[in-house]
Amino acid sequence: MKGHIVLKMATRMMVPFILMFSLYVLAHGEISPGGGFQGGVIFASGFILYGMVFGVEEIYRKIKRKILIFMTAFGVMIYSGVGYITMFNGGLFLEYAKLPGLNMKSGNSMGLLFIEIGVFITVSSVMLLLFIEVSKKYDN
């Protein structure tokens, strides 16, 4: 997209706000509509917009494919790790009240936040991987 200076400037201005909004959706997913999945998709859409305007090669330079694959696995590890920690402390899988050092109310809040962070990381990484792989296929 050579010569589209207005589109490029608008994208440079919008992407930081898109990324901040995704973190807002993640943080308030417990008490309002949103959460890890929606926040992760919004986060990835900021990078996808950037890649569509500036070229997929720019995303390749900013985020390596190996890092995205690692982040996908790391998000799943956070999610399952919370469940296994609760099981090792005598509870059921994802019984947040059994998180160590937390009572029922704070355990539910913190456990849900950790779960949402894991989902956020996984969804945003998978969405970016899908975009990169599909755009590589049709780049020729």
pLDDT of residue 75: 96
Say how far apart CA 125 and CA 38 lie, in whole Å: 13
Structural domains of the chain, count: 1
Q: Tell me, what amino acid is at 88?
A: F
Pick the residue with more confidence: 99 or 49?
A: 49
pLDDT bracket for residue 107 (50, 70, 90):
confident
Contact yes or no for 94/83 (Cβ under 8 A):
yes
pLDDT tens track for 43-67: 999 999 999 999 888 888 888 889 9
Which pLDDT band holds residue 139 (cuts at 50, 70, 90)?
low
Higher pLDDT, 93 or 140: 93
Domain that holds residue 13: 5-137
Looking at the whole model, is its pTM more than 0.85?
Answer: yes
